[in-house]
Amino acid sequence: MRKFIIYVLSIIIPVFGGMALINFLVDPGHIYSNSYIEEVVEGSRKGLCVTNVGNMDERLFKKRLIEVNKGKEFDYLVIGSSRAMTISEDCLTGSSLLNLGVSGSKLEDMIALYQLCKENEVSFKNVIIGTDPTLFNANDNDNRWKSIGIYYYDYYGTEDNDSESDFQRTLIQNLFSPSYFKSAVKAIPDVLAGNTQIEYVRTYINNGGTKRPDGSIYYAKEYRETPQELVDANAMTCCHTSFLRFDSVSEKRKNIYIEFVETLHKNGANIIIWCCPYHPLFYKRAVEMKGFPPAINFLSDYAQERGFKIIGSFNPDDLGLSNKDFYDGLHVKKETVDNILKSSL
């Protein structure tokens, strides 16, 4: 028996110990060190673009972005998912903009970021709310918002009992996470070659992914130039994975959305709802999801009833877009976004 236990431990300890060590040292998501986010924020502080940006907790980055912009007033504030993250100052002439979009944004993210703006006296005249139908998906339980969850609870004046412990747990779990390990192993050659260093640059058009001083993003060259066949193939089939069993609309989420938008409006912000179009092939499948049409209907009914401006349309045909206007199934090319917004704002 002793021999057996020694045998088992002699395999398990080096494998799991080595995995934890690599995860911690390579840290592909930069979750064990705060300095990475600080370096990226430093670019915004200096009014420069930051390129070659790797993975990091975007919520914490946006939190720091708000903090460095403390007391400032913007003409436009953008909140929403990655589908709103390409909205930049280029869309507006002579107006200032702060983009607080985060990947896979939930209502909780929007609320927490708004609360952060309030606490840091960041004010705005107009708010562009990137509203995706998935915000109302009853089956979507993504909890990435928890890294800024404390501000979400602050908004409601309730005590946050789990965000911090959840965050700590995630850090420990990631030490032993096979998927984090996979990313770490992939990142080793770049880390060793020093290719993961960020750079401060003046222009946003670079080979690497770029964060602009206004918080918006510009995709890496490789992504921007994905062959059209691959873009279409991806768009055709990524609907099921992107929409996580979107078979019903959550009444609770609808009510949270209404309450939040009304609060923004009551506090003097002009509401603009951004309906970012989907790739035509993606849209064709999305409308077949049970929850998708009711979510769209709710949004247009609500905006119409309250007189809020809607820009864009989820249906690419409404805007005369073709497959070529997209980077993938979900994301519209920057130039197309600029054109849509310029003609509407």
CB 146 within 8 A of CB 167: yes
Q: Are 134 and 80 in contact (CB under 8 A)?
A: no
State the Cα torsion 239-326-322-204 to the nearest 10°: 160
Of 143 and 267, nearer to another protein (C-beta) is 143
Nearest to residue 115, comparing CAs of 135, 95, 100? 100
Contact region with another protein (CB under 8 A), list: 13-21, 67-75, 291-299, 326-334:
13-21
Residue 185 binds another protein (CB under 8 A): yes
Among residue numbers 278 through 297, which ones bind another protein (CB under 8 A)? 285
Q: Tell whether residue 6 is a contact of another protein (CB under 8 A).
A: no
The Cα–Cα gap between 93 and 114 comes to: 24
- Can residue 248 be called a binding residue for another protein (CB under 8 A)? no
- 240 sits near another protein (criterion: CB under 8 A): yes
182 binds another protein (CB under 8 A): yes
The yes or no reply on residue 33 touching another protein (CB under 8 A) is no
Q: How far apart are CA 100 and CA 83, in angstroms?
A: 12
Q: Which of 71, 94, 157, 178 binds another protein (CB under 8 A)?
A: 178
Q: Is 8 in the site for another protein (CB under 8 A)?
A: yes
In angstroms, give the least distance from the CB of 285 to another protein. 8
Pick the binder of another protein from 172, 233, 258, 259 (CB under 8 A).
Answer: 233
Taking every pair of Cα atoms in the chain, the longest distance, rounded to a whole number of angstroms, is 76
Which tokens hold the place of 299? Answer: 């949004």
Which amino acid belongs to residue 19?
Answer: M
d(CA 200, CA 141): 36
Q: Six-digit token pair at 14? A: 């080096």
User: Binding segment for another protein among 141-149, 176-184, 193-201, 325-333 (CB under 8 A)?
Assistant: 176-184
Residue 124 near residue 96 (C-beta atoms within 8 A):
no
* Bridge pairing between strands 210-211 and 49-51: antiparallel
Binding range to another protein, per CB under 8 A, among 115-123, 224-232, 294-302, 333-341: 224-232
Joined tokens for residue 214: 């206004």
For the chain, state the CA radius of gyration.
21
Q: Which of 150, 175, 220, 236 binds another protein (CB under 8 A)?
A: 236
CB of 8 or CB of 21, closer to another protein: 8
Beta carbons within 8 Å of 162's beta carbon, 6+ residues apart: 146, 149
188 binds another protein (CB under 8 A): no
Binding to another protein (CB under 8 A) within 60-119 occurs at none
Nearer to another protein, 243 or 257 (CB): 243
Residues paired with 78 in a beta bridge: 99, 128
Asked if residue 19 binds another protein (CB under 8 A), the reply is yes
**How many residues in total does the chain contain?**
345
Question: Which phi and psi angles does 50 have, rounded to 5°?
Answer: -120, 120
Which of 159, 179, 202, 307 binds another protein (CB under 8 A)? It is 179
CB 46 to another protein: min, Å: 39
Q: How far is CA 129 from the centre of its chain?
A: 13
Q: Which of 214, 232, 325, 328 binds another protein (CB under 8 A)?
A: 232
Which of 1, 93, 141, 193 is in the footprint of another protein by CB under 8 A?
1
Q: Residue 5 or residue 193: which is nearer to another protein going by CB?
A: 5
Total residues in contact with another protein, by rule CB under 8 A: 27
Tell me which residues touch another protein (CB under 8 A): 1, 3-4, 7-8, 10-12, 14-15, 19, 177-179, 181-182, 185, 229-230, 232-233, 236-238, 240-241, 285
